[in-house]
């Protein structure tokens, strides 16, 4: 199979012809129809993820067609259109038994624990627990954009943040995660403030649902958020993952507010400062959000089918595997708007 491949962290990413995968018990092999290019893939290439063993094929946001099934797989067959959470649960550990496959003790992550979807084919383990049938109304490209950024934002806003109509929400960072969170929070009836340093991204954020925007390079963020929301937001999301955005996200909360950390903190941002005096005095909550379980997909899928959510609007550009391979090492400096999706192999 044709695949993107690297044998050294921060080294060259090349297109190679590798052996086709074969299903094992409980797994399926998918023909990859579309896969997103995500900053998390860049973190993996940088060496920030201890699960990655070299050599490696990246890619974790995917949708495809079932090509082969392994022993024990009965709910999926050749030709089925499917997608999968980027964190897949084993189905047997205590976390999975409680319905929390997104923090499985033995999780399978394409593109991290195993070879991923920057390839013509990918082997998906624990298929019965994690594969999601894809409705005909939802394209492979749209589904690929769901795989990491959108589902993580959905869980952050709806399940972890428990946002409701009329509440103020701040989203720090207008990349794929942030734009997804903005769209979802607006669909849930929240008043959304988008924060970024790029006016073009802020204009796009407003187009998809942000009620107010703040350019952090021109305005003091915490004061501006508190002024707009008349005292602070109920829910604040760090969708970027930096010391500055994390601090601001906590500090711009109103009393009893919730900070959700979605953006990965790595490198120099690994240990951010937290205004803990505010956390204590104002009884703030600090919550992580890491993917979403396959069993939680139906409610989100229904919102997409009814067009209450329109993640297709977040697709910035459709590209080839070669273009995605060239883009991967540059994702930390990528200035484009929306999600880049590979659909040409």
Q: Quick one: 269 and 184 in the same domain?
A: yes
Q: How far apart are CA 221 and CA 249, in angstroms?
A: 9
* Residue-level pLDDT at 267: 81
Characterise 258 by phi-psi region: left (phi > 0), alpha (psi -120 to 50), beta (else): beta
Whether residue 68 contacts residue 23, with contact meaning beta carbons closer than 8 Å, is answered with: yes
Q: Quick one: 239 and 326 in the same domain?
A: no
Query: What domain range includes position 252?
Result: 153-288
Q: How far apart are CA 303 and CA 187, in angstroms?
A: 9
Q: Quick one: 141 and 8 in the same domain?
A: yes
Whether residue 118 contacts residue 57, with contact meaning beta carbons closer than 8 Å, is answered with: yes
Backbone angles phi, psi at 297, to 5 degrees: -65, -40
Q: Quick one: 36 and 22 in the same domain?
A: yes
Q: Quick one: 171 and 271 in the same domain?
A: yes
Q: How far apart are CA 181 and CA 127, in angstroms?
A: 28
> Could you tell me the CATH number of the domain that includes residue 107?
3.90.180.10
Whether residue 23 contacts residue 122, with contact meaning beta carbons closer than 8 Å, is answered with: no
pTM, whole model, 2 decimals? 0.92
Q: Quick one: 318 and 218 in the same domain?
A: no
Q: What is the pLDDT of residues 143-162, one digit of tens each?
A: 998 878 899 999 999 999 99
Q: Quick one: 278 and 313 in the same domain?
A: no
The pLDDT profile of the chain, 345 residues, written as one tens digit per residue, is 999 999 999 999 999 999 999 999 999 999 999 999 998 899 999 999 999 999 999 999 999 999 999 999 999 999 999 999 999 999 999 999 999 999 999 999 999 999 999 999 999 999 999 999 999 999 999 999 887 889 999 999 999 999 999 999 999 999 989 999 999 999 999 999 999 999 999 999 999 999 999 999 999 999 999 999 999 999 999 999 999 999 999 999 999 999 999 998 888 888 999 999 999 999 999 999 999 999 999 999 999 999 999 999 999 899 999 999 999 999 888 777 888 999 999
* Residue-level pLDDT at 281: 98
Domain count, the chain: 2
* Residue-level pLDDT at 343: 97
Q: Quick one: 277 and 198 in the same domain?
A: yes
Q: How far apart are CA 61 and CA 216, in angstroms?
A: 29
Q: Quick one: 6 and 127 in the same domain?
A: yes
Whether residue 313 contacts residue 293, with contact meaning beta carbons closer than 8 Å, is answered with: no
Closest CA to 314 of 191, 154, 77: 154
Instruction: Give 193's strand partners.
Output: 170, 212
């Amino acid at each position: 199979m044709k695949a993107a491949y690297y044998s050294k962290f921060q080294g060259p990413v090349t297109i190679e012809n590798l052996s086709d995968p074969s299903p094992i018990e409980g797994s399926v092999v998918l023909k990859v129809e579309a896969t997103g290019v995500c900053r998390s893939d860049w973190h993996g290439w940088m060496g920030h993820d201890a699960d990655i063993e070299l050599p490696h094929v990246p890619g974790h946001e995917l949708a495809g067609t079932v090509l082969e099934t392994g022993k024990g797989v009965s709910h999926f067959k050749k030709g089925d259109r499917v997608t999968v959470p980027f964190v897949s649960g084993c189905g047997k550990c205590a976390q999975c038994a409680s319905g929390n496959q997104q923090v499985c003790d033995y999780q399978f992550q394409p593109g991290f624990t195993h070879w991923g979807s920057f390839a013509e084919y990918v082997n998906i383990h624990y298929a019965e627990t994690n594969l999601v049938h894809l409705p005909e109304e939802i394209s492979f490209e749209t589904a690929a954009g769901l795989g990491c950024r959108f589902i993580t934002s959905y869980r952050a806003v709806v399940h972890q943040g428990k946002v409701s109509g009329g509440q103020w929400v701040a989203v720090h960072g207008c990349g794929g995660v942030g734009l997804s969170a903005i769209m979802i929070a607006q669909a849930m009836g929240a008043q959304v403030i988008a924060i970024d340093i790029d006016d073009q991204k802020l204009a796009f954020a407003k187009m998809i649902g942000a009620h107010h925007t703040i350019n952090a390079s021109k305005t003091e963020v915490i004061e501006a958020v508190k002024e707009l929301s008349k005292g602070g937001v109920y829910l604040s999301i760090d969708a970027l993952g930096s010391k500055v955005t994390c601090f601001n996200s906590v500090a711009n909360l109103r009393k009893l507010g919730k900070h959700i950390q979605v953006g990965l903190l790595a490198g120099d941002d690994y240990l951010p400062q937290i205004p803990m005096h505010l956390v204590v005095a104002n009884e703030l909550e600090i919550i992580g959000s890491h993917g979403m379980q396959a069993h939680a997909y139906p409610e989100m899928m229904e919102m997409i089918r009814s067009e209450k959510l329109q993640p297709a609007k977040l697709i910035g550009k459709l590209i080839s595997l070669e273009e995605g391979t060239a883009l991967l090492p540059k994702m930390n400096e990528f200035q484009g708007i929306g999600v880049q999706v590979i659909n040409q192999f």
